[in-house]
Every structure is written in C-alpha cells, then in structure tokens.
C-alpha cells in the first residue's frame, strides 16, 4: 500500500488536474464518474484520468490519501477538490471556474457558462 500512496502522490504532483474515477474519461463506468468527466470534457480541461477499477491498491489508496470515502475524486494542482456532488455544485456556482483561474488551468469559459445556463 505504501507503493500505492507514493504512486498517488506522484500522480497528483506531476499533473495539473487529475480525476480518480471508475473507468476512463472516454468510457466512464459509473454515473458519478461520468458526470465529473463530462463536466471536465465539456469545459475542455486537460486532465489525467486514473481508472481505480484497474488497481485495487489505488482504489483503496486514494480513499486513504484524501480521507474521502467515495470516488470520483478531483485534484487540481495537487489539492483535493472533491467528489461528484461538490464538483457539480462548484460548476453551477462558478466556483470551479474561479479555482481553475486561480490555479492557472486552461478551460473553455463559454462552455462553463453553457452548463450553468442549461441548469438555471
């Protein structure tokens, strides 16, 4: 498990945005992972997708690493942001835009506005 913790730490350090999810960004394998990946994909955020179903040590390790019990988990510039509900709320409130702006992560602002308009 120590190897999994080091691998997770390295992944969140080496990538600006990381989504630990069930499945992949092109083929999510749960609704919650699909929702977060869909938001990031639609907004044009470049991110590393880590399929926790492919490695049980990573699947449990990410829960221990973040002290957060559920997947998906989004990290931006090494910082744990949250899971599906938090990312959904942040997207709709504009907080995700603010976070991405603060961290210098490129995304499509017009796409983010479209998500909010569609859910208003």
Residues 76, 82, 87, 93, Cα dihedral to 10°: -90
Closest CA to 57 of 20, 29, 89: 20
Residue-level pLDDT at 1:
63
**Chain centroid offset of residue 79 CA:** 11
Give the Cα separation of 87 and 34 in Å (integer): 12
Residue-level pLDDT at 24:
97
Residue-level pLDDT at 21:
98
Residue list, annotated binding site for [2Fe-2S] cluster: 30
Q: Which residue do the tokens 């942040």 mark?
A: 90
Q: What domains can you pick out in the chain, each with its CATH number? A: 2-118 (3.40.30.10)
- 2, 65, 100, 105, 106 from 76: Cα distances, Å: 22, 15, 8, 8, 12
Average pLDDT of the segment spanning 1-10: 90
Residue list, annotated binding site: 30
Residue-level pLDDT at 20:
98
Q: pLDDT digits over 50-85, tens only?
A: 999 999 999 999 999 999 999 999 999 999 999 999
Judged by DSSP in three states, 81 sits in strand
Helical packing angle, 95-103 and 109-118, nearest 10°: 170
- How confident is residue 120, by pLDDT bands cut at 50, 70 and 90? confident
Beta bridge partners of 73: 20
Q: pLDDT digits over 78-117, tens only?
A: 999 999 999 999 999 999 999 999 999 999 999 999 999 9
Q: pLDDT digits over 12-51, tens only?
A: 999 999 999 999 999 999 999 999 999 999 999 999 999 9
- Tell whether pTM > 0.85: yes
């Amino acid at each position: 498990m120590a190897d999994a913790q080091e691998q997770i730490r390295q992944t969140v350090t080496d990538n600006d945005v990381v989504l630990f999810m069930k499945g992949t960004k092109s083929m999510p394998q749960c609704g919650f992972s699909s929702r977060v990946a869909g938001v990031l994909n639609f907004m044009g955020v470049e991110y590393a997708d880590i399929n926790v179903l492919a490695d049980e040590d990573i699947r449990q390790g990410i829960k221990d690493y973040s002290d957060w019990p559920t997947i998906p988990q989004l990290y931006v510039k090494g910082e744990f942001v949250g899971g599906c509900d938090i990312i959904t709320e942040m997207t709709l409130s504009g907080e995700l835009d603010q976070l991405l702006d603060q961290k210098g992560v490129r995304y499509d602002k017009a796409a983010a506005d479209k998500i909010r308009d569609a859910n208003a």
